[in-house]
Structure formats: C-alpha cells, structure tokens
Amino acid sequence: MTDEEIERIALGFCARTLPREEWTHMAHFATALWLMLRRSDLVAERDMPGMIAAYNESVGGVNSDTSGYHETITQASLGAARAVLAGQPEGVTPEEAFAALIASPMAHKDWLFAYWSRGRLMSAEARRAWAEPDLKPLPWT
C-alpha cells in the first residue's frame, strides 16, 4: 500500500467517509500507523477507540456486546503497530511501516488467536475492556 493510499484510508476514516467495505483488517493497521506517524496531536491508544466506535455508527454499524468496537482487539493491534514502529528507523514513512507490518505475523487476520483463546477474545468482556491474553504473553510486553 502506498503512502497516498494509506493517507486516503486514514483521512476517510477520520472524516467518517471511508466506505464500510474498505474498513478491513489491513485498513485498521494502515490507519493506526498513519495516525501514529502523522497525527502527533492524537494518542492512538486513547483516541482510536472513540474514533472507531463513531466510524462504525456512521456507516450504520452498532457497537454492542456482539459487534462493532472491540477494546481488546483494538489495543492489541495498536500494540502490534507500535512494536513494528519501534523496530523501524527514524523518519520511516507510513508505506515503509505498513510493509514491515504486513511482513510480520500480525498481517494474518487470525494472529490474535495465538495469544487468546477464541472464547476469551470473542467474549463481551473482552469487547468492552482489555482482557489479558490467556494462551501466552504478547511478544512486546
């Protein structure tokens, strides 16, 4: 994904104009990396939860105990993005950071199940609040 594509997705997400079908696993990561690199006024871990919930509602989604915003997935994914960025040289572009991330195990949409059992991760509790991994610790903790 190019810097221009990443910026288009991130700006569309922020403006709540990104088409719902474009809000994919990779778009989440691209947006997180772009926000971390280009929006120093935001703290992704603090600000993205509300932004994601608002985006979901703007495209007709519902944030509930079974769909929409998921705190544990969001915070784990943001931790993964930060870990990728920590291994990059100063001045890395979103495109370069995204390439590093997709070369990592986090590129697979089911990567979280190496750390959480399906039941724990998909629970209403993990959706509403951070739930520690129950299979093994995250590699960056």
Closest CA to 86 of 10, 5, 8, 141: 141
Q: pTM to 2 decimals? A: 0.94
Q: Give domain status of residue 140, yes or no.
A: no
Q: Write out pLDDT tens, residues 36-88.
A: 999 999 999 999 999 999 999 999 999 999 999 999 999 999 999 999 999 99
Which residue has 């929006």 as its token pair?
Answer: 39
pLDDT for the residue 109: 86
Q: Give domain status of residue 135, yes or no.
A: no
Q: Write out pLDDT tens, residues 110-133.
A: 999 999 999 999 999 999 999 999
Q: Give domain status of residue 20, yes or no.
A: yes
pLDDT for the residue 139: 93
Q: Give domain status of residue 141, yes or no.
A: no
Domain total in the chain: 1
Angle at the Cα of 72 from the Cα atoms of 60 and 6, rounded to 5 degrees: 60
Range of the domain at 124: 3-128
